[in-house]
């Protein structure tokens, strides 16, 4: 079985297990006794509470970034996903991204098909993340874009949105995404942050070498996915994950980074090699604790920069666990994760 196929199978299993709305008869619950079980984590802070979102619709909260309380999952029955969009779709989605702009929370997500780039990216919104509030309600706005096998040489999963604010102007939304195939893409959103801007504006921001001659239907061996854009001073930093996730103790996942003065790129690593040509400065990978670490997000909370990802726990049979570490910056403003 191909590594990409294994990845997508595990994503489906995670989605089925973590969302209570899928298969009410299921009694599976994540065992957090050896670390918080999570896949593709993203985070945001509302008032004094941190909220975590994961593949499958998982949602949790914490006041200290250490102890997490699981909450009622985000709805994952997507009425807009028809048989024409994703044949055989059975509810659920992968790799969410949570953002906040002008009083609204935006949750971007990706329903996808098994081992194909039959995928889509959608968005839902909420006015609050406090599930006890009368204003708590997820409103699904449906699809932003989709990838179609045979038409698109990219995969519409692993969405990340950056709201780029200029002095005295409104925010411009940029959606980055992608996994394997032709690499990672960046596309401009319109002012609603729920649709593509017209005329459309697209860029390829990162790629890894792919063996020549593979058919377009094959994800290929150009292992790159999960973009995350973070702004610090004059630079936009593009974090990406390479090598293979979702293989337990055999996972080789790692995170690379490049930076640019323009969100559209090109992004270059510390040695000056562009990420669109296989570049990337190493950030983190295998450690004494984890077989591999990846699918990261980066945030500033209370004056400190945090690295958020999942890792494959060597002491717990390679199960996927939440990883939260601080980031320090060297004299030339390159990040170093404090493991």
**Residues classed as catalytic:** 40, 225
**Cα separation of 256 and 298, whole Å?**
13
Please, is 70 exposed, middle or buried when counting C-beta atoms within 10 Å of its C-beta (0-12, 13-18, 19+)?
Answer: middle
Dist. CA 243–CA 23, nearest whole Å: 32
Residue of 258, 248, 257 whose CA lies nearest to 310: 248
What DSSP assignment string belongs to 196-237? B-SS--EEEEE-----TT--TTS--S--EEEEEEEEETTEEE
- 100-124 residues labelled b (16+ CB within 10 A) or e (exposed): eeeeebbbbbbbbbebbbbbbbbbb
Q: How many CB atoms lie within 10 A of CB 19?
A: 22
* Residues 6 or more apart whose Cβ sits within 8 Å of residue 167: none
Per the CB < 8 A criterion, the answer to whether 57 and 122 are in contact is no
- Tokens 């103790």 found at: 249
How many residues in total does the chain contain?
339
State CA 251 to chain mean position distance.
18
């Amino acid at each position: 079985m191909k590594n990409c196929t294994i990845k997508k199978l595990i994503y489906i299993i995670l989605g089925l297990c973590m969302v209570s709305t899928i298969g009410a008869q299921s009694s599976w619950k994540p065992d957090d006794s050896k670390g918080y079980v999570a896949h593709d984590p993203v985070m945001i802070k509302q008032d004094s509470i941190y909220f975590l979102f994961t593949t499958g619709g998982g949602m949790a909260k914490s006041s200290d970034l250490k102890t997490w309380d699981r909450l009622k999952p985000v709805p994952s029955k997507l009425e807009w996903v028809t048989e024409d969009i994703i044949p055989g779709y059975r509810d659920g989605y992968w790799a969410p991204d949570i953002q906040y702009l002008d009083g609204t929370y935006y949750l971007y997500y990706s329903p996808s098909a098994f081992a194909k780039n039959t995928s889509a990216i959608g968005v839902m919104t909420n006015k609050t993340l406090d599930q006890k509030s009368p204003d708590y309600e997820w409103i699904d706005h449906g699809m932003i874009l989709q990838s179609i096998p045979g038409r698109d040489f990219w995969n519409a999963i692993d969405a990340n949105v950056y709201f780029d604010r200029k002095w005295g102007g409104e925010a411009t939304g940029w959606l980055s995404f992608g996994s394997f195939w032709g690499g990672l893409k960046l596309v401009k959103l319109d002012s609603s942050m729920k649709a593509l801007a017209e005329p459309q504006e697209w860029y390829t921001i990162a790629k890894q070498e792919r063996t020549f001659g593979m058919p377009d239907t094959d994800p290929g061996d150009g292992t790159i996915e999960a973009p995350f854009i973070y702004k610090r001073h004059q630079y936009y930093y593009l974090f990406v994950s390479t090598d293979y996730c979702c293989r337990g103790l055999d996972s080789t996942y790692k995170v690379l980074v490049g930076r640019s003065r323009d969100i559209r790129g090109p992004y270059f690593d510390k040695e000056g090699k562009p990420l669109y040509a296989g570049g990337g400065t190493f950030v983190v990978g295998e450690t004494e604790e984890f077989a591999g670490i990846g699918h990261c997000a980066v945030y500033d909370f209370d004056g400190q920069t945090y690295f958020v990802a999942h890792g494959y726990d060597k002491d717990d049979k390679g199960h996927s666990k939440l990883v939260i570490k601080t980031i320090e910056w060297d004299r030339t403003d390159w990040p170093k994760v404090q493991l």
